[in-house]
Amino acid sequence: MQTSGVLGPSDNLRQAMAWSLELAPQVMTNMVSRALQSLDRKLVSLAGAAPAQMLEQAAVAMEEQRMGWAKQYTPLLRMAMAYPAPAKMAAILAQVDLRICAQEAAQLDALVQAQGSRRSNPLSAQAYVQALLELINRSPASPELRKIWADHLLPALSSQLAWVYLQLQAVLRDPASRETSAISQTDGFNEQAAIAFGFAETKDDSPAGHEDAGLDTQTQQLAEQARRTVLRLQKHLGMSAEDGDALAQALSGNPMDALLHDLDLSEQLMAKIRERGLPMPSMDESLDHLHAATQLNTLTVPVEEKAPVPEVSEEKIAELLKSYRNTTSPSLQRVPVPLQEALEDLKLPLLSLAHQEPALLTDDQHPAQKFLGLVTQRSLRYSSEMAEGFVAFMTPVDKLITAISVMPQPSSRVFEQAGTSLSTVWQRQDDAVALEESRKALEQAQMQEAKQLAGRLGFQLVGRKDAGDAPPMIKQFLMGPWAQVLARAQLFPLQAGDTERYTQVLAALLWSVSVRRAAPRKNEHATLIAKLIPQLKAGLQSINMPDLQADPLLSDIKKLQEAVQASVVAPDADTSISDPAPLLA
C-alpha cells in the first residue's frame, strides 16, 4: 500500500492547536466568571429557599478552584483533542446550547478541513466539553456540587468558543498574524498534533517485526468497511463526498488508527441522522459481505486437524473477564470501576473469537488474554477513577474497547494491534514521567546543596553594616528565603548575573525599610519600591517558593515600606546619608 507522503499536520494546523491550548486558561477563567454571575442571579431568585444553601456552597467552592482549574484545563483539553470520546459526548453535546458560536465553529471547521486534516476537527466544541466534564469529575466535591457546576459552566462555553474560534481562524488564514506559540515548541507537541489531526505516525511507532505495518487482511477489510460506512452516511446526510484517494490516505498509517477514526466519525454522522429525524440508511449487504469474509479461515481448516477444545459459552467468557477484573484480593487494590465496566463490552467479541480460537480460554499467552492482562495490570497504578493520570490512561483504552466491541468478528491480530498501540502510548507517557522525575531529582539535589550554602550565607547577610537597623522581620527574611535565593544564584544561576542582581536587590530592600536613610528621600523611595517588589518576587520564584508563601512575605515588606513613606521627617534631617542612586538603576 502506498503512503501519502505526508508526515504530519501543516504548520498552520499545529499553530492553531497550540494557540487553542494557550488560550485555554483564559477560557476557563472566563467560564468561571460567567458561571458565578449565573449562580448569583439564581441565589437572588431563591433567597431564603432551601436549595440556596447548596448553590452558595457551589459558588464558594468554584471560586476557590478558579486558579487551579485554569491550570488543569489545558492538559485535559490537549488529551481530549488527541483522544476524543464522541460516543460519550453525543448525548451531552445535544444538551449544550452552542448557537452563539455556531457560525464561527462552521468557518473554523471548513478551514481545518481545507488544511488537510484527516480527522473530524479536534478543535471542535466536543473537545472543550469533554475536557470541562473531565475537570469537573476529577474534583472530590459531592455529585450534587459537580452537577451544579456543570449546569452553570456549560452554558458559558459557547460565547468563549466564539471568541477563541475567531482567533484560530486568523491563525489558519495567516499564521504571520500571530507570533509562534510557545506550546508548539515543547517536546512531544508535534506528535500530539499529528494524533489529533489524524496523521500517520512514524515508522518507529509501527509494531516491531511487522513489515506491512500490522495491516492483516481482516483489519484492512474492517477499515475499508468503516470507510464505506462513513461515505454512505455522509451521502445520506447530503454532505459532499470525499476525494477518491480518501481510503488510501486513511490507511496510509497505522490501520487500527484509521479504523478507530472512521468508527468515531460514523458515530457522529449517525447522531446527526437521529437528530434530524431521518431513517438510517441500509448497510446490511456490506456488513454481511464483511462478516462472510471474516469466516474464510474457519472454512479452510479441516475438521480432523482440530484438537479437543474446552466448552465455549457466555459463562466461560464471564469467568474469564472476572478473573482479570479481580486481579488482587478484596483487601487490596482492585481494577478501577470504569475499566471493569468497559471490559463488559468485550463479552460478545471474546465469545465470537473463542468459537474460532478456543485456546483463548486456556492460553494466557493468547493475544486477547495478553490484552486483558495488559490493561488490567496497568490500571492497578490508579487507586480509583479520581486518581491523577487515570483519565490519560482510560481514554485510549476506552476508545479501543469501543472499536473492538462493534467489529463483526475481531481476530487475534486485532487484539495484538490494540495492545501494541497502547504499549506505544504508555511508553511515551512513562518516558515523559521518567524525564520529569529525573528533572525533579536533580532540582532537589541542587536545592539541598543550595540550602547548605544558605545556612552559611544567612549570618553574613544580617551582619552587613546596612542591616544594623533593619526590622526583625527583614532579618528573618534575610536568614531564610533570601539567603536561599543568593545561594541558588551562586551555585545554579538561571541566567548570567543572578548573584549581582539579587545582591543589589538585597541592598535596595535594606534601604527601603530604613526610616533613618530612606525617609528624607521619599520621592526616590516611592520610585524604588515600585521596582523592588517584582524583583523580590522573581528571586523567590527562582527557589520555587509557592505564591501562597511568597505573597504574605511581600505583603509584610510592603507594609514596612509604607511605614517609611508615612514617617515624619525632621526639617533639618541630613539627606546626605541617603543615596539610592546605585540601587536598581
332-366: pLDDT as tens digits: 557 888 888 888 889 888 988 888 888 888 888 89
Q: How confident is the model at residue 251 (pLDDT cuts 50, 70, 90)?
A: very low
Residue 207 has pLDDT above 60, yes or no: no
Residue 166 has pLDDT above 70, yes or no: yes
* pLDDT higher at 337 or 585: 337
* pLDDT higher at 253 or 301: 253
**CB hemisphere CA count around 354 (13 angstroms):** 23
Which pLDDT value is given to residue 220?
Answer: 55
* pLDDT higher at 365 or 249: 365
Instruction: List pLDDT tens digits, range 478-532.
Output: 999 999 999 988 888 888 888 888 998 998 999 999 888 888 888 888 888 888 9
Task: Name the nearest CA neighbour of 404 among 347, 459, 452.
Answer: 347
Which pLDDT value is given to residue 283?
Answer: 52
* pLDDT higher at 128 or 1: 128
* pLDDT higher at 17 or 6: 17
Instruction: List pLDDT tens digits, range 399-416.
Output: 888 888 877 778 888 898
Residue 554 has pLDDT above 90, yes or no: yes
**DSSP conformational letter for 181:** P
Instruction: Look up the pTM and report it.
Output: 0.39
Tell me the range of 85-94, 177-186, 283-292, 342-351 where mean pLDDT is highest: 342-351
Residue 80 has pLDDT above 80, yes or no: yes
Q: What does the pLDDT average to over 173-187?
A: 77
Residue 557 has pLDDT above 90, yes or no: yes
Which pLDDT value is given to residue 558?
Answer: 92
Which pLDDT value is given to residue 242?
Answer: 43
**SS3 of 64-93:** HCHHHHHHHHHHHHHHHHHCCCHHHHHHHH
Q: What does the pLDDT average to over 217-225?
A: 57
Q: What's the CA angle centered on 427, arms 425 and 429, to 5 degrees?
A: 70
Mean pLDDT, the chain, whole residue set: 77
CA–CA separation, 583 and 531 (whole Å): 10
